[in-house]
Amino acid sequence: MKLLRYGDKGKEKPGVEFEGIRFDCSKFFKDWDNEFFINDGIEKLRKVMNTETLNNIKETHRWGAPIARPGMVICVGLNYSDHVKESGFEIPTEPVIFMKPTNTVAGPFDPVIIPPGAEAVDWEIELGIVLNKNVYRLNSEEEAEEAIAGYTIIHDISERHYQLERGGQWVKGKGSPGFCPVGPYLVTKDEIENVLDLTMTLDIGEERMQDGSTANMIFKPAFIVHYISQFIALEAGDLISTGTPHGVGTGMDPKRFMKAGETTTLEIEGLGQQQQYFRAAPKT
C-alpha cells in the first residue's frame, strides 16, 4: 500500500493511493501516527480498503509528509562507501548517528527556504524507514525487520558551513525549517521486492547529481534499526534516514551548493518522486 497525507500544513488528513488514484481515509483513521502504527493500523487499513467505499482526493490538494510528525528523526551518516570517499572520511565501523529536529519534516513538494546568510545548502537523497512498533534493545535483525512498517524518500538537506565549520555536532546544519521533505508515500514493505536494490536519483533542474543504489549501503535497514535500538528507545511512527550515495555538492571540485530559483527532483525506485523549489529567505 501507498500511504499519503494531504491538505494544508498542520491540517493534513490521511489517505492512500491505489492504481494511481488518491483516496481519503479520514472517515476511518485520525492520522498515520504513533497510535495508528502501534495498534496494527496497516492491517486495519487493508480491511477498510477491501470492505469500504473511499472518496477520491482532489488533485489540487497539497501533499503533506506521508506520516504525522514523528517522535524522532534519526539519521545515519556516511552509510554509502562512495559518499564516504568523496567526503574524505574513513569507512565507519559502526553507524554514525545524528538527529534532525522533527519540525524540519515537510511535504514532498513544499518549497525550501534558504536560511538568511546561508551559502552552502547541500542536497542528499536518502531512503527513509518508518517503524510500526515501540522497540528497545532488540535481540536480532529479524526482530528489527518485523518493526519496519515501510519505506519513503527523505531529502536530508544540509547547510554545510553550519554543519562542519561552526563547531559541535552536525545538527546545526541539518535543522533549518523545511530541511526534511518526506514522501510522497510511505510504501509498505510488502510492496518492495528488494529494499537493497533500489535505484536512487537526484537532479537539479535537468542535471543529474546523484545516481546511486541502496545496494551500496554499508549498514542495511534491519541492522540499522537493531543497532539504534541498543541505545535509544524507538517508537512507532519514528523516522530513520539511512544515508546518501555519492554526488553531493560538498564532494565536488569546486564545491557546488543550492541557489535560490533552483529545483531538486528526487526519485527512489518504487517509492515515487518528490520535488522542491528553493527560495531565498524573505528580507526583513
Give SS3 for 93: coil
**Considering 63, 85, 106, which residue would you say is the last residue of a domain?**
63
Q: How far apart are CA 12 and CA 10, in angstroms?
A: 6
Supply the pLDDT for residue 162: 87
pLDDT of residue 231: 98
Look at residues 7, 2, 36 and name the one whose alpha carbon lies nearest to residue 21: 2
Q: Which three cell numbers stand for residue 131?
A: 517503524
User: How many CA within 13 A on the CB side of residue 81?
Assistant: 7
Can you give the pLDDT of all 284 residues of the chain as single tens digits? 999 999 999 999 999 999 999 999 999 999 999 999 999 999 999 999 999 999 999 888 999 999 999 999 999 999 998 888 887 778 899 999 999 999 999 999 999 999 998 999 999 999 999 999 999 999 999 999 999 999 999 999 999 988 877 767 778 889 999 999 999 999 999 999 999 999 999 999 999 999 999 999 999 999 999 999 999 999 999 999 999 999 999 999 999 999 999 999 999 999 999 999 999 988 76
Give the SS3 label for residue 145. helix
Domain boundary among 63, 83, 105: 63
Q: According to the model, what pLDDT value does residue 85 have? A: 81
Please tell me whether residues 110 and 148 are part of one structural domain.
yes
What's the pLDDT score for residue 154? 98
Q: Is 40 left (phi over 0), alpha (psi -120 to 50) or beta?
A: left
**What's the number of domains the chain is made of?**
2
The per-residue pLDDT for 268 is 98
User: What is the pLDDT, as a whole number, of residue 105?
Assistant: 98
Task: Locate the DSSP E strands across 93-206.
Answer: 96-100, 105-106, 112-114, 121-122, 125-131, 148-155, 158-159, 180-181, 186-188, 199-204
- Which of 63, 92, 116 lies at the terminal end of a domain, its last residue? 63
pLDDT score recorded for residue 117: 86
Whether residue 173 is found in the same domain as residue 192: yes
Cα-based distances in Å from 147 to 26, 72, 74, 77, 171: 25, 15, 15, 21, 26
Torsion (CA) 88, 93, 94, 96 in degrees, nearest 10? -10
- Cα–Cα distance between 236 and 257 in angstroms, integer? 35
Its domain, for residue 217, covers 64-280
**Do 109 and 216 belong to one domain?**
yes
